[in-house]
Structure 1
Amino acid sequence: MSEAGTFDVIAVALALPALVLLTVVSALIERSGPIRLRHWAEDAGGRLRALYHQRPRFEAFRFLVNLLAKLLLLATTVALYRLLAAAGLPGDGDGLALAVLAASLVAAAVEWLNRRLVELHAEAALERLTGLLKLLALLLAPAIWILGHWAPSADDNGDEEEVEDEVSDNEIRAFIDVGRREGILEPEEEKLVKSIVDFGDNQVKRAMTPRVEMVSAPADASYDELAERFFASKHARLPLYRESVDHIVGILHIRDLFEAIYRGDQRSPAELAKPPHFVPETKPLRDLLTELQALHQQMAIVVDEYGGVAGLVTVEDLVEEIVGEIADEHETEEPLCEPAGDGTYRVAGRTSLPELFELLGREGDDLPYETVSGLICGELGYVPKPGSRLEAHGLEFDIEGADARRVTSVLVRPLAVSTDGTTDA
């Protein structure tokens, strides 16, 4: 082998581990959240702690480490190409293509390693690589100073606190898991905190009362008819519509109705009602709660992408997404899921799939359905009649009750999993 070939072999042998280390370091400081980085910097002390608290310089450090990793990947690709060319591979294009392919495979493997480290062992990895990070901070000090000096200085004051306060949901979930493992959080406390975290990610369609379960009334109904509807539904507010539920014209409060009856008011129910507030079904719950608070509203009408009414949502529905079902004094609570013996559960059709799969200890996060009724009707392609049976996703469904539009009650039983991974009845 020529002297140049020997040099390329040595270069590749040194570049590969250096590439892995640099990309891991880059991923750790790029993807770790502000709380994790702040704790690590405080523990590391010295130059790293001072660097972290000077936001422009720390951002310059991040940039330079990431740049070094990319330059090293490029250098590794060039060295691989020279090696392949020295080995006599015919055609410059073939050699370059193989070099790029090999470098891409290395980069993909390192990226997978980075994700695993950041997700599972970020604290330990940061601690073990502190020495390398200190060395990099020392070697890059002149470049850090120059880039940090050019960077905007606004982050040195209030903006730094804002950046540090931004915590990812994944970090919070990781803290929750640690709290559970260490016995700091009880199961109910863990569930409550997770509900709060998930609240911001969930959309209105998860919490709304669907259109088929809405209690509404025609806008031209008489006072007596509306009073009967209020008594029967035990609701404090009723949406009023003209012609069809897709044309909601107002929200009538029971107090306004009975005040009008008491005073002998001759105005129509539509005149007594408050203007409806419409929201898309994809609106985040957190944004809706803030919006309703600002508007002093207790109810919103949910519309789909075509403008049709999909359901309604109240502030109580939003609160129940965090703390669970809230039963009023006059309500007879009917459980959505209850044991029926022999490992079988009686489940209401409106039960959410995450709740069902959590109860049964099964995975079902990727299903394109929201409720048990939606899953059954979606898998069958039609609304089944009582007595029908379905086996899907490791579960057996025996339909107990159904109407023309949905499944109302079903018996659910997990299917046994055989040794070959299939399910047995």
Structure 2
Amino acid sequence: MNGSLSSIGLVVLFVLIGSVFVAAETALVSLRDSQARSLAINRGRRGRIVAGLNQDPNRFLASVQVGVTLSGFLSAAFGAATLADDLAPYLEPLGLSTSASETAALIAMTLVISYVSLVFGELVPKRLALQRAESFALSLGPLIDRMSRLSRPVIWLLSLSTNLVVRLLGGNPEAKREQMSDEELREIVGSHSALGDEERQILEDVFQAGDRQIREVMVPRTEVDFLDASAPVHQASRQAISQPHSRYPVIRASADDVIGFVHVRDLLDPDVVDRSVRVGEMARDILTLPWTRPLLSALTDMRREGIHLAVVADEYGGTAGIVTMEDLVEELVGDIRDEYDVEESETTRHLSGDVEVDGLLNRDDFEDETGIELPEGPYETVAGYLMSQLGRIPRPGDVVELEGHRITVLTVEGRRVSRVRVTVAPPPAVAEPV
């Protein structure tokens, strides 16, 4: 009896030893690089050990597998061999022969030990290690590190063999784990229970902004209020205070010749307003950005330089429009309005289901308002799409059909489509049988 208890105790011990290695492997493998770096900075020596193991997975994986394999082998082989002999005599009264009872006892003990090993040596430690990866990594990391040092020759041989097989299978032994994709990161953010709806929306806007260029959010040159560099300050000040802007780009002969910008406070300075000072003499330097500059990159540049207004240049060097710090920030946090902003509704919804929108609405905003996705093309706005489809300057009444909808040009200002209506196209007429 004492021998059986000793054997059971040894089996339990081997299973527990195996569970330690399994938990260590799971914790270290599931640990993200950012978590490992944080542990190295904030958790002292243990944190640095964990970060070192995280950077060299071959070393700790080989150590762990040696421990798991040995403990599993010893628990199964030793336990089944010794406990089966103790169990066999209890099966003979059931009518089994001596050889049959020994075989049945061996099979039974193997199944029992396998079950115990699977539950307590594999599944439970893995589940716990996944739930508390940092804690398990800090607790078991030094043990794995010490074992890897002691068994370095064995690990070297195993690593060499592993690298050889990986190369034969077409893999790269030096490759790191795959980086998290944008879609995976968005899914994590969207499903994180600690984030509220507002926080999720802001983060989603940041992800979307990362894919956009400033030409998608700029104010086109046709909508920009420029100041003539040769205009007297007193004349320019009257023009400036009639508009809701605080900064104005200054031009010479045309909108393609922007020499700087002025702040409305410069124009209202009592020291210059009564003198014959020209606007061009007061112009400050202005930042010029290519219209393909990523939105977040442009925001970083403007924040670093302390600039609130920039000129957007097209591929030919001409002025495509302007972009402000407020325009870029609004892409992240939504509309920002002050007491001087004019409340203009760009979208009108009719009871019939028709929707009227501004012709300068960009593709993403148009999809948000109407649910219709404009196809990819050499344009950024609804007006650009209509011009591309018609092959000419649109006129009021022009109609373009898309995805079962009709986009009708309502008004045109100069050569720019200012207003369009989106309606559901009627189904095609079916000829009645004669």
Q: Same fold (TM over 0.5)?
A: yes
What corresponds to 2:307 in structure 1?
A: 297
Q: What is the rounded CA distance, in whole Å, between the counterparts of 2:322 and 2:421 in structure 1?
A: 28
Matches within 5 A, 1:87-98: none
Q: Does structure 1 retain, via aligned residues, the 8 Å contact 2:33–2:54?
A: no
Shift of 1:273: 1.2
Question: Any idea what the Cα deviations from partners look like across 1:274-322, whole Å, max 9, x if unmatched?
Answer: 0121110111122212211221211110101111111101101111111
1:241 and 1:344, CA in 2 relative to 1: closer, same or farther beyond 3 A? same
1:34 and 1:364, CA in 2 relative to 1: closer, same or farther beyond 3 A? farther
Number of corresponding residues: 291
Matches within 5 A, 1:402-417: 402-415=412-425
Q: Does structure 2 retain, via aligned residues, the 8 Å contact 1:33–1:171?
A: no
**1:226 is the counterpart of 2:236:** yes
Q: What is the rounded CA distance, in whole Å, between the counterparts of 2:218 and 2:387 in structure 1?
A: 20
The one-letter code matched in structure 2 to 1:209 is: V
Residue 269 of structure 2: SS of its match in structure 1? helix
Structure 1: tracts of 5 or more residues without a match: 1-28, 39-49, 63-126, 128-136, 149-162, 419-425
**Rg larger in structure:** 2
The one-letter code matched in structure 1 to 2:223 is: E
**1:269 is the counterpart of 2:269:** no
Residue 341 of structure 2: SS of its match in structure 1? coil
1:192 and 1:414, CA in 2 relative to 1: closer, same or farther beyond 3 A? farther
**1:196 is the counterpart of 2:206:** yes
Residue 279 of structure 1: SS of its match in structure 2? strand
What corresponds to 1:57 in structure 2?
A: 56
2:268 to 250, 258, 267: 258
Of stretches 380-389 and 204-213 in structure 1, the one that deviates more from structure 2 is: 380-389
Shift of 1:268: 2.5
What corresponds to 2:156 in structure 1?
A: 142
Of stretches 219-228 and 250-259 in structure 1, the one that deviates more from structure 2 is: 219-228
Q: Does structure 2 retain, via aligned residues, the 8 Å contact 1:397–1:410?
A: yes
Structure 2: tracts of 5 or more residues without a match: 1-28, 38-48, 62-129, 131-147, 163-175, 429-434
Q: Does structure 2 retain, via aligned residues, the 8 Å contact 1:57–1:147?
A: no
The one-letter code matched in structure 2 to 1:325 is: D
What corresponds to 1:380 in structure 2?
A: 390
Question: Any idea what the Cα deviations from partners look like across 1:192-237, whole Å, max 9, x if unmatched?
Answer: 2211122233211112111111110211012232112212322111
1:249 to 235, 240, 259: 259
Question: Any idea what the Cα deviations from partners look like across 1:339-361, whole Å, max 9, x if unmatched?
Answer: 12211111011112212223333
The one-letter code matched in structure 2 to 1:397 is: I
What corresponds to 1:210 in structure 2?
A: 220
Q: What is the rounded CA distance, in whole Å, between the counterparts of 2:276 and 2:189 in structure 1?
A: 57
Q: Provide TM-score, normalisation by structure 2.
A: 0.58
What corresponds to 2:189 in structure 1?
A: 176
What corresponds to 2:407 in structure 1?
A: 397
Of stretches 287-296 and 206-215 in structure 1, the one that deviates more from structure 2 is: 287-296
Q: Does structure 1 retain, via aligned residues, the 8 Å contact 2:247–2:262?
A: yes
Q: Does structure 2 retain, via aligned residues, the 8 Å contact 1:223–1:261?
A: no
Q: What is the rounded CA distance, in whole Å, between the counterparts of 1:355 and 1:291 in structure 2?
A: 25
Question: Any idea what the Cα deviations from partners look like across 1:116-163, whole Å, max 9, x if unmatched?
Answer: xxxxxxxxxxx9xxxxxxxxx99x943675799xxxxxxxxxxxxxx9
Q: What is the rounded CA distance, in whole Å, between the counterparts of 1:250 and 1:371 in structure 2?
A: 27
Q: Provide TM-score, normalisation by structure 1.
A: 0.59
1:51 and 1:312, CA in 2 relative to 1: closer, same or farther beyond 3 A? same
Q: Does structure 2 retain, via aligned residues, the 8 Å contact 1:176–1:190?
A: yes
Residue 184 of structure 2: SS of its match in structure 1? helix
Residue 233 of structure 1: SS of its match in structure 2? coil
Q: Does structure 1 retain, via aligned residues, the 8 Å contact 2:302–2:308?
A: yes
Identity of aligned residues (%): 29
